[in-house]
Amino acid sequence: MSGKRGNGEGSIYPRKQGGFAAYVWVTKPDGSRDRKYAYGQTRAEVHEKWLKLHTAAKAGPVATSVPTLGAYLDYWLRQVVNPNLKPKTAETYDMHVRLYIAPGLGKKRLDKLTVRDVREWTNRLLDACQCCEQGKDAARPAAHRDPNRRQRCCAVGQCCDQRLSARTVRDARNTLRSALTNAMAEELITKNLAALVKLRTPRRAARKPWSVEEAKTFLESARRDGDPLYPAYVLILVLGLRRGEVLGLTWDSVDLDAELLMVQAQLQRIRRQLVHDETKTDASTAVLPLPDICTAALKLRRRAQVAARLAAGEMWAGLGFVFTTRTGSPFEPRNFNRSFKRRCELAGVRVIRLHDTRHTCGSLLAALDVHPRIAMQILRHSKIAVTMEIYTHVPSEETRRALKKLGRHISTDAAEQPG
């Protein structure tokens, strides 16, 4: 360690409280110059860190003050994610940070995070009961007249073993990776350690959408019982619209005379507020041709809404949504899920995820003799081959006749009623 150092090489010296310290003059990300310190118990340990600092200083800007991962994630969510990403994506990132990343890794200094830290964190997420980790049962009162609202599992020594799926753990890791990518861009760190931790790609759960016969039974049941959401179910099954797209549909996006419907917005509950925003991607926005059954169902919906508006009088919200409550306010997404499940039970068909109805859509379009090119546009597929793969599952002639009869029946009723 003897010999004179050149200008800017810094210094290694003993500390009063024990051990050694060193510094190197570095250029910070903002362009200013400052000292960057390294500490250790022995001179050799500090010398090794000192050499690494020199290498980093020559390679580019070096941050002299590095926050904890938790502090950086707060900044990242506030200044990067919320202003630039869609509200639902921002909410998802915030949830992963709040529930999984910050509790497990938040106290680590950003530049001290290691691959081992990230790997041990992901392994713990896979193994730990989240009810225990997040104190879900402990937050319930010890005594309550409703057994479902009092402490009943982890807080009373009966662990419910509520584990995360491999998909959720992977999503949490990907959120961390996105945050560290931004930290690299801001020159706070040199490597994205989350990207170095490999996770097994989880298998997608096998979807079991309805057959055309089941979809027909479901629609006939809703139509027969006068379900006010029947037109929404038609749009979901025949046009493959997502829940948010159906609930976010406004009358100025519907042209019944030209038989066209524009998908350009969605309604979602985000951070306890209903948000009416543009569709998720550019590909999701489209002008769709309306098959006869959809046009007829929307005419029924328009007539029912006129009657509801007259009944509500001054209480009518008048926001222009196609599907509303009795007072014209937007329809709550979770209530739509509950109504769909209840209708499945009333119709006597398998209860499936609402989103899985989209996978039934192609078969219904084939049963209604919709041309594959038009079906491709409706389903918003990028390749005709994807559409044709669905069209190979040709419904029976009996199903074709039943669906067409249902469509004619609805069209006749709509024509007889004022719009």
Q: Distances in Å between the alpha carbon of 266 and those of 100, 241, 244, 249?
A: 28, 10, 5, 7
Q: Cβ of 217: how many Cβ atoms within 10 Å?
A: 17
Please give the pLDDT value at position 7: 45
Confidence of residue 345 (pLDDT cuts 50, 70, 90): very high
Chain segment 26-53, per-residue pLDDT in tens: 787 667 787 877 888 888 888 888 888 8
The answer on 369 and 256 residing in a single domain is: yes
Which H/E stretch holds residue 116? helix 115-127
Q: Answer whether residue 329 is part of any domain.
A: yes
Determine the average pLDDT of the residues in 118-133: 92
| Ramachandran category for residue 240: left, alpha or beta (phi over 0 → left; psi -120 to 50 → alpha) | left
The answer on 378 and 304 residing in a single domain is: yes
Domain count, the chain: 3
The answer on 87 and 33 residing in a single domain is: no
Please give the pLDDT value at position 382: 64
- Pick from 40, 59, 78: which residue ends a domain? 59
The answer on 356 and 313 residing in a single domain is: yes
Q: Answer whether residue 151 is part of any domain.
A: no
- Planar angle of CA 373, 377, 378, nearest 5 degrees: 115
Q: What is the CATH number of the domain that holds 92?
A: 1.10.150.130
The answer on 365 and 290 residing in a single domain is: yes
Q: How many Cα atoms are found within 13 Å in the side-chain-facing hemisphere of 300? A: 25
The answer on 112 and 54 residing in a single domain is: no
- CA distance linking residue 278 with residue 284, whole number of Å: 9
Q: Answer whether residue 301 is part of any domain.
A: yes
Mean pLDDT across the chain = 83
Give the closest residue to 131 by CA, choosing from 113, 105, 157, 110.
Answer: 157
Q: Answer whether residue 97 is part of any domain.
A: yes
Chain segment 255-290, per-residue pLDDT in tens: 999 988 998 888 888 888 888 887 766 656 778 888
Determine the average pLDDT of the residues in 360-385: 70
The answer on 239 and 221 residing in a single domain is: yes
Confidence of residue 393 (pLDDT cuts 50, 70, 90): low
- CA distance linking residue 232 with residue 66, whole number of Å: 52
Asked if residue 406 has pLDDT above 70, the reply is no
The answer on 282 and 410 residing in a single domain is: yes
18: domain range? 11-59
State whether residue 94 is helix, strand or coil.
helix
The answer on 230 and 123 residing in a single domain is: no
Asked if residue 3 has pLDDT above 50, the reply is no
Chain segment 63-82, per-residue pLDDT in tens: 666 789 999 999 999 999 99
Determine the average pLDDT of the residues in 295-311: 93
Q: Answer whether residue 206 is part of any domain.
A: no
- CA distance linking residue 355 with residue 204, whole number of Å: 14
Tokens standing for 49? 């860190």
The answer on 247 and 381 residing in a single domain is: yes
The answer on 326 and 285 residing in a single domain is: yes
Burial code (b: 16+ CB inside 10 Å, e: under 16) for 267-297 equals bbbeeeeebeeebbeeebebebbbbbbbbbb
Q: Answer whether residue 138 is part of any domain.
A: no
Chain segment 176-232, per-residue pLDDT in tens: 999 999 999 888 888 899 999 988 877 666 667 788 888 889 999 999 999 999 999
**% of the chain surpassing 90 pLDDT:** 39
Please give the pLDDT value at position 2: 43
Instruction: Pick the more confident residue, 246 or 380.
Output: 246
Asked if residue 417 has pLDDT above 60, the reply is no
Q: Answer whether residue 154 is part of any domain.
A: no
The answer on 80 and 111 residing in a single domain is: yes
Please give the pLDDT value at position 384: 62
Q: Which of 82-91, 170-179, 220-229, 379-388 has the lowest mean pLDDT?
A: 379-388
Task: Write phi, then psi, for 4 (nearest 5 degrees).
Answer: -80, 135
Instruction: Pick the more confident residue, 145 or 26.
Output: 145
Confidence of residue 93 (pLDDT cuts 50, 70, 90): very high
- CA distance linking residue 184 with residue 111, whole number of Å: 10
Determine the average pLDDT of the residues in 329-337: 93
